[in-house]
Every structure is written in C-alpha cells, then in structure tokens.
Amino acid sequence: MIHPTAIIDPAAELGTDVTVGPYAIVGPKVTIGEGCAIGPHAVIESHVRMGKGNRIHSFASVGAVPQDLKYRGEETWVEIGDGNIIREFATVNRGTVGGGGVTRIGNNTMVMAYCHLAHDCRVGNRVIMANAATLAGHVTVEDGAIVGGLTAVHQFVRIGTHCLIGGLSGVSQDVPPYVTAVVSRPQRGYALYGLNLIGLRRNRFPAETISALKAAFKMIFRAEIPMKDALEKAEAELPPLPEVAHLIEFVRSSTRGVLR
C-alpha cells in the first residue's frame, strides 16, 4: 500500500507487498524488494538497492550523499540485504569512489534509533547497533557483532565477529572477534574484558571452541611478550579451529592496531 501523501519517483522500482507510509519519499535509482515497509516521513533518497522484508522506520534517511568533502556527485550506492530493521532517525549514507563506491548492510541487522552509518561502511549479518551508535567512514563490522549505545567508531576501524562493545565507548583501534570491550577516553587499564561468553553460548559455539578461544585470548592479549611472538605461539599450540584461525589472522592483518 502506498499512502497518497508519499512521493515515489517514477524511476524507483518497488517489489510486491511494499508499503510506503504517509509523507515518505522514495527517490530515483531506488530498488526496494518485496515485503519491505517504509515508515512515515522516511526518506530513501537515491541510489539504494534494497532486498526483501526490510523495515525502515519513521524519519530514517537512507541513500543521502556522503558527508565527505571530496565527494563530487559521483554515482555511488547503498546496498541493503534482507530482513533488516532501520529505526527512527537513523542515517545510512552512500559510498564514495575512493572507498569502493558502496555502503553495505547484510541481512537481519538491526540499526537502532539515531545511529549513523557513514560512507563506505561494510556491516555484516545479524549485527546490532544500539541507539546512537556511530560509524565513521570505511568501518567494517563483521557478522554478529553488537555495538553499544552512544559508541563512536573511528574511520577505517574493524569490528570483529561476535564481539560486544559496551556503550559510551570511543573506538579508535580494531576490536578483535569474540571479545567484550569497553573503551573510555582516556583509557586506563585494559579495554578488553575477556571473551563475549554469553554471546558465544547464545550462538551455540561448541565448548571446545570456547575453550580454545579462551586460551587464545590469554596468549595474545595477556601474555607479556611481543604481539608477533604471541600470535606465533597461539598458532603453534592451539587447535586449528576456524574461529581461532580467524582471531589470529584478524590481529595479524590489523593496520590500525588492536585493542588489548
């Protein structure tokens, strides 16, 4: 159902069973998959490809131009998968040429009220961003991560899979997978509090995997040896599980450094 006060550009493509609420705007070069709901006063500005079953709530903005002074009107995009929820007043900006041209959200992710996803962010599947969490440009958030409310993430930072970042954090370095982190300014002591055990158990990680990740956490983040040596030790001594390998490679490939 399209409310009579909604404005739909003739070039927009809407799938079956799409609803568009009062005073919502759907601009040009927008594709909206079947079963999506666009709430009252929401704006899908332009250059947006959206899958099935998404819910865009009131006053959200998706597909606005990037907040980048280098942007000169190039054709860039927002791509959104299936089953996502974008709540009130959240903003998702288009990509930039320098960042690959696409801001992307995967499937079944929740972006709560007042969140911001800047240009060229890559947000995976089943991510939760609590109210007013903010991603600067070029941030990567892996599957299953939870970003606490009022958390700000610096540009080019990576957020690892199934990690939990506490609210009011200021994140300027990569957050490793599977951990719990709280980052204050200035930081005193460790930013990492251990594994995200509740999250791992809720996601049915095997006990063997959790045990190996515990050992990896101690070797990498609590041993008083250089990081390079700690990674080599973990690689040599721990079971060759995919999760352990991912944690080691994530840390090894970091260009911004990782929280500890």
Catalytic residue check, 174:
no
Catalytic residue check, 120:
yes
CB-CB contact of 77 with 122 (8 Å): no
Q: Which two tokens stand for residue 49?
A: 């490809």
Closest CA to 106 of 89, 129, 130, 90: 129
Q: Which of 53, 83, 137, 160 is catalytic?
A: 137
Catalytic residue check, 82:
no
Angle in degrees, CA 112, 117, 118, rounded to 5: 160
Token match 């070029």: residue?
138
Q: Which of 57, 116, 119, 138 is catalytic?
A: 119
- Beta 128-129 vs 110-111: how paired, if at all? parallel
Q: Which of 120, 144, 166, 199 is catalytic?
A: 120
Query: What are the residue numbers of the active site?
Result: 119-120, 137
